[in-house]
Amino acid sequence: MDRVIVLNADAHQVLHQVSLRHAVAMLYRDVARVHQSVPGRTFGPYPQPHSLVLVSYVYTRWLYEHSGRLPCSLANVLRRDGHACAYCGREASTRDHIVPRSRGGPTSWLNLVAACAACNGYKRDRTPEQAGMRLRVQPFVPTAADLRPR
C-alpha cells in the first residue's frame, strides 16, 4: 500500500505516515504541499507524493506524547523489530533515530528502529539517505501484542 511521509514545515522532521488518500485530502485542504514525488506517477492533478511538507509548523510535544501509549524505550523498540537491525538484519542492541535528534527527529515509534552497534555507529547523525543506508523495515506504532516476547 502507498504510504506518504509527512514532514514538519521545516522539511526535516518526520511526523508520521499517512495513506495516499489521506495525503491527497491534505493537499486539497491546503494544509500540506508535495515535498518529493514518485517519478512518473500522478494522482489526479497532482504528482503522486512520496512525502509532504506541512504548510505551518506543528509543535511536536503533543505528537510525541500521543504517538502511542507504549513507550518507545530501547527494550520495546528491540521487541517490536524482533531484535533485528533495520539496516543489516543482524542482532540489534541499540535503537536508531532515523532522522537524527540533531536534525529535529522526534523520539517516536515512527522515527526509531532497532540497529546493531556497527550500523548505528556508522550512520552517526546522518539520515539513511545521507549515509547511503537502506531501511529493511518500515517502522510502525506497535500494539501490546507486537511487543510480546517471541
Which residues contact Zn ion (rule: CB under 5 A)? 85, 87-88, 116, 119
Question: Using an 8 Å Cβ cutoff, are 80 and 110 in contact?
Answer: no
Quote the least distance from Cβ 86 to Zn ion, whole Å: 8
Pick the closer one to Zn ion by CB: 110 or 116: 116
Quote the least distance from Cβ 94 to Zn ion, whole Å: 9
In the DSSP assignment, the letter for residue 141 is: P
Quote the least distance from Cβ 123 to Zn ion, whole Å: 9
Q: How far is CA 135 from the centre of its chain?
A: 10
Q: Could you give the CA distance from residue 123 to residue 132 in angstroms, rounded to a whole number?
A: 9
Quote the least distance from Cβ 80 to Zn ion, whole Å: 16
* Among 129, 79, 85, residue whose Cα is nearest residue 109: 79
Q: How would you class 119 by CB atoms within 10 Å of its CB: exposed for 0-12, middle for 13-18, buried for 19 or more?
A: buried
Pick the closer one to Zn ion by CB: 87 or 109: 87
Pick the closer one to Zn ion by CB: 26 or 78: 78
Pick the closer one to Zn ion by CB: 46 or 122: 122
